[in-house]
Amino acid sequence: MAEPEAYSADALLRTLDDALQACRVPEGARLAVAVSGGPDSLALALLLHERHDIVAISVDHGLRPEAASEVKTVAEIMHKCGIPHIALKWQKSKPESNIQASARVARYRLIGERCVAEKISHLLTAHHQDDQAETVLMRLARGSGVYGLAGMNMVSEVPGVPEVKLIRPLLDVPKAALKAYLRARHIDWIEDPSNKNTDFDRVKIRQFLETPPLEGFSGARLAETAKRLRRSRDALEHYEREWTARSVREEEPGYLLLEKDQLTAAPEDIILRGISSICRAFSGADYVPRMEKVERLLMSLRDDGFSGATLYGTQFLPGGEGSVLICREPAACTTRANLTAHQIWDKRFEISVDGATTALEIGGLGEAGWQMAVTKWPEVRETPIPYAVRLGLPAIFERGQLRALPHMGYSELSNAALHLSRKTLIRSKK
């Protein structure tokens, strides 16, 4: 890896161009850049502006008194450079613990939703080589395996907003190079005081890397290790998809049947990864469950006396004829929300409504809802949908009373027509 001084503006632009091409970002596409005012995001915005149509987006989390003025400063810098800027604010009440993680989730959600509104499908962030090294060490400390130690992906989805691709084009670039680029352009940046707060684990890791006990603990070396492990992860994912394709069958209206004899038909790590991915698909979470929990689940699934288990909002039940039935855990989707003209429910179903939605709510059917259903429509008992699956399907309520079961074709809504589609649970084999 070249020294930071070797990263001229031209070299940085070439690195950026190569990364965008590798990430399959369409030429001429309008891009969003998350800009906090730190050296990393400022440098990324200015570099991109030289060749691309971009909009900078900043978020005031309201966690520090100076946050609003920092967003204003970013807006001024962007204006001077001719870059359109959007300022957003996190309005909700702030948590008392796990603040950084909560702020990160809120930032991605706010920016991602604004990207959708602006018809922008690619959000770029300035995560760099040093960030990658810190991520690897933090995950190592938590006992992560190959997947965790592979670090951050260059391409992923914006958490909570899957319509927008999240691109990290600077993972091979050290932070010092970005600072050098800004100095050469005589542009100041904002220093976030939380970057020196040792109450946060990432800050402790950063300080450790500044004076490592061994030469190999350098940002460049650790980032290179992550890149190699990503190749290993890609190979594992290939075989995981193959195992899933031959072991799991997807059924309507959105549940799986897993053949029990396939629970020993591949290397254990492949099977564990397959089960982890299934859990993530049902839960809608950004990450898979902890490996030790998946290991315990696999032991239970292999047991001849297996009678059922839940993990990560996913329910596993005996399916008959040597199979395991896998569905959404009903208790994980009972919360009801106001029904709107268009929404994603439980990250599994897309629902559109033609007509009035006043006083209508959507939530999982649940046992109480099922009892209402059999009272209203006795013939619903004849549905071939397994009982556990029924309880986790979306249902429409009005003032606590069941009004519609869209998947089963029952509705008392005379002024509203429902249209549902669901996401595919199993990734296709590549």
How far apart CA 38 and CA 195 sit, in angstroms, is 10
| Residue 230, strand partner residues | none
Mean pLDDT of 252-258: 96
pLDDT band with cut points at 50, 70 and 90 for residue 332 = very high
What is the per-residue pLDDT for 2? Answer: 46
pLDDT at 414 over 90: no
The residues, any chain, with a CB within 8 Å of residue 14's CB and separated by 6 or more, are none
| Residue 337, strand partner residues | 362
Mean pLDDT of 345-356: 93
216-225 confidence digits (pLDDT tens): 788 899 999 9
What is the per-residue pLDDT for 215? Answer: 80
Report the relative pairing of strands 122-124 and 85-89 from DSSP bridges.
Answer: unpaired
pLDDT band with cut points at 50, 70 and 90 for residue 239 = very high
How far apart CA 159 and CA 165 sit, in angstroms, is 10
pLDDT band with cut points at 50, 70 and 90 for residue 3 = very low
How far apart CA 263 and CA 318 sit, in angstroms, is 14
Range from 57-66, 142-151, 188-197, 295-304 that averages highest in pLDDT: 295-304
What is the per-residue pLDDT for 26? Answer: 95
pLDDT at 99 over 80: no
- The backbone torsions φ and ψ at residue 159, rounded to the nearest 5 degrees and listed phi first, read -55, 125
pLDDT at 428 over 70: no
Q: CA angle, corner 98, sides to 42 and 71, nearest 5?
A: 25
Q: Which residues of 145-158 are buried (b: 16+ CB within 10 A; e: fewer)?
A: eebbbbbbebeebb
Tokens of 185: 């352009």
pTM confidence score: 0.79
Mean pLDDT of 109-121: 96
- Percent of the chain, pLDDT > 70? 95
CB atoms within 10 A of CB 113: 16
CA distances, 232 to each of 23, 51, 119, 239, 245 (Å): 19, 34, 35, 11, 20
Residue of 195 and 21 predicted with greater confidence:
21
Q: Which helix (H) or strand (E) holds 269?
A: helix 268-283
What is the per-residue pLDDT for 340? Answer: 94
Q: What is the mean pLDDT of the chain?
A: 91
What is the per-residue pLDDT for 214? Answer: 82
DSSP 420: E
CA 153 and chain centroid, separation = 12
pLDDT at 142 over 90: no
375-397 confidence digits (pLDDT tens): 999 999 999 999 999 999 999 99
How far apart CA 341 and CA 336 sit, in angstroms, is 16
